[in-house]
Structure 1
Amino acid sequence: MGDIAECSWYSLVLCSIGSVTVVYYLLRWSWRCWHGFKVYVLSEIWQTNLRTYGQWAVVTGATSGIGRAYAEELARRGLDIVLISRSEDKLCSVAKEIESRYKRQTRVIQTDFTEGHSIYSAIAQQLEGLQIGILVNNVGMNYIGVLANFLDVPDPDQRITQVINCNTLSVTQMSRLVLPGMLERGKGLIINISSEAASQPQPMLSVYSATKIFVTYFSRCLHAEYRSKGITVQCVVPFIVSTNMTHNVPVNPLVKSAASFARDALNTVGYTTYTSGCLTHALQISNLHMPKNKQPSFLQLVDKADELTGGAWVRHHQQDLRPPELYMILAGV
């Protein structure tokens, strides 16, 4: 009789532990679903009024891709736009289009973010006197746009420095320039464009992925430091968007156009400080981040491809297969 009672006690304990565990994971899953619904669905219905941050929005890398899409969407929502990029002709063209279509003021600043520290004093002078409410740190680059081992980068001394200057120095220095004015007014929004490439080691994209994890951590730290002062710092982590950097991969239910992505991503402002930008990207990234025994990492994908081809895959494809294609082919995205 005692053995039966003891057995029942152990069973009760195990059942209780199991029940608590199940309830915990159900609550956790329910919270994530609610959070995703709020960020990516409700945000489209109840959008934050971005004009409350200030009159002007500054966008880097604003002549194409995600940067141009952000500039146009911000203008559509009522802000005047400062466009910063390398090509003066393209800057003037985009500025004229924004002024014509959205009836907003624009200013253009021609600069090359790969040049390093020397450019920021001139940028500061041209921004002086503007009530800057929003900064979008979008400008970014990879060293060659295709897969390559670290030492196989063409002209590595110059190219690697350019990537670091463009992807990390621009984010820190542009934030330094606009933050004082935001702090004076007690409000401001900084949007830093990172990448899914920051979420795990990315062989053959080593410098690019390392710069993007810098952007992610810098954004989170800056938000923690200044949120009590009324400053919001949002980190945007897109998956695949059809832009020049992704070789304009065709738009489909999983690949967003730049315009659609920017619209969805701006909807999330006020709802979260860390966002995939849109629901489809959030679902894809969640799939890629499943437990390791179920979902291979990027590093494992490269190793597996090389193993299946006897080492020929990396040698043959590092110059012509792009990272988005690698995910789609090997990860089944």
Structure 2
Amino acid sequence: MDLMELIFVCLGAAVVVYYGVKLLFFARMLFPKLCFPLPKTFFTSMGEWAVVTGASEGIGRAYAFALAERGMNVVIMSRTKATLDQVAKEIGETTGQTVKVIATDFTNQNVFDEIEAQLKDLNVGILVNNVGTLPSHIPCKFLEFEELDKVSGTSAMCKMILPGMANRGKGLILNISSGIATIPFPLYTLYAASKVFVERFSLGLQAEYKDKGIIMQAIAPFGISTRMAGYQQTNTVTLSPEDFVKSSLLYLRAGDKTNGSVCHTLLGWLLQAIPLKVLYSEFMQHSLQDYVKKKTAQTASSSAS
């Protein structure tokens, strides 16, 4: 065998091994309860309280309910107190757990001292960083966004709660990113970039604090039927917040980053396989805009009727 043949054989073997490992990983995603088992006391063993930001609706609300159902008292945070009070009432009546409400606006950098004071005496074992905004659920280019100064409290909340977890040697932090952060994503440029920050921030913190017994995971879903997504009809790809959260909690031991469900993992792989020149073409961008506008109009029409 000459040198060129050897190079091609080695290259082929490397490709086979690479895709074999990816296939094995996906096979594990099909059986999360078997491959990533959690003891029944996993959640309550982390601490007495869970803190969920952006909890008035959508994914945040679903996480608050799910964690309360698993025995946690929950602190729910968002901007609208009336909505939070209603969610707190529903969680309390459904699960019997204690719910604390903190109405706050994370775009205001002066709120974090007050939040820290309200959380000071709580044994916080789980933090779900879900707060975030999508400037427009209709995709558009960067300079077309009306508001460019929206910020996330992800890093501030971690700075606030992480020391207590490190001192106790245990804790769980879930940072909600997005599947569209997989690649630079035209028409969702600002939102995708902000979610890249969440992902990299989460992965870096996990490397720094893993030896403290803290689990830190970035969760990157694709389609979820929420207000930010125009309440699109649920299907195999677009999940309800409750179904997505139920699925994502099965993968807490699946690694530092997950897509939270089998179908969204497949979407992530597919997105990375499509040549960027195709995704970035004007045709694809216009097609995406038209598709989302059509789906939004259909949803609005269904709601009106």
**TM-score interval for Structure 1 and Structure 2 normalised by the shorter chain:** 0.7 to 0.9
Instruction: Return the match for 2:252 from 269, 273, 291.
Output: 269
> Hey, what's the Cα distance between the residues in 2 that align with 1:272 and 1:119?
32
Q: Distance in 2 between matches of 1:153 and 1:20?
A: 49
Could you tell me which of 102, 111, 132 is aligned with 2:95? 102
Provide the C-alpha distance between the structure 2 equivalents of 1:41 and 1:215, rounded to a whole number of angstroms: 27
| Local SS of the residue matching 2:148 | helix
Which residues in structure 2 correspond to 1:1-333 (within 5 Å)?
9-10=1-2, 16-43=6-33, 46-48=37-39, 49-115=42-108, 117-154=109-146, 159-161=147-149, 163=150, 165-166=151-152, 170-290=153-273, 292=275, 296-297=278-279, 299-300=280-281, 303-305=282-284, 313=286, 322=292
- Describe the shift of the 1:56–1:226 C-alpha distance in structure 2 as closer, same or farther (beyond 3 A): same
Quick one: distance in 2 between partners of 1:71 and 1:221?
Answer: 25
Change (3 A) 1:324 1:224: farther
Structure number with bigger Rg: 1
Deviation at 1:17, TM superposition (A): 4.4
Task: State the TM-score, normalized to the length of structure 2.
Answer: 0.88
Q: Does the CA contact (< 8 Å) of 1:39 and 1:272 recur in 2?
A: no
Alpha-carbon contact 2:32-2:251 (below 8 Å) kept: no
Q: Deviations over 1:31-88 (max 9, x none)?
A: 2222233345233772352222111110001011111111111111111111001111
Q: Return the alpha-carbon distance in structure 2 between the equivalents of residues 42 and 147 of structure 1.
A: 34
Aligned to 2:299: none
8 Å CA contact retained: 1:56, 1:81: yes
Partner letter of residue 55 of structure 2? A
User: Which ranges of 4 or more aligned residues in structure 1 deviate by more than 4 Å?
Assistant: 13-19, 323-326
Query: Given that residues 32 and 250 in structure 2 are in contact (C-alpha distance below 8 angstroms), is that contact kept between their aligned partners in structure 1?
Result: no
TM-score by length of 1: 0.81
Unpaired runs of 5+ residues, structure 2, are: 297-305
RMSD over aligned CA atoms reads: 2.4
Work out the CA distance in 1 between the residues paired with 2:136 and 2:274.
32
- CA separation in 2, counterparts of 1:288 and 1:130? 41
Q: How many residues align?
A: 293
1:40–1:264 CA contact under 8 A, matched in 2: no
Q: Percent identity?
A: 33
| Residues 240 and 324 in structure 1, CA contact (< 8 A), matched pair in contact too | no
Q: 1:44 to 1:89 in 2, by over 3 A?
A: farther
Separation in structure 1 between the aligned mates of residue 293 and residue 192 of structure 2, nearest angstrom = 12
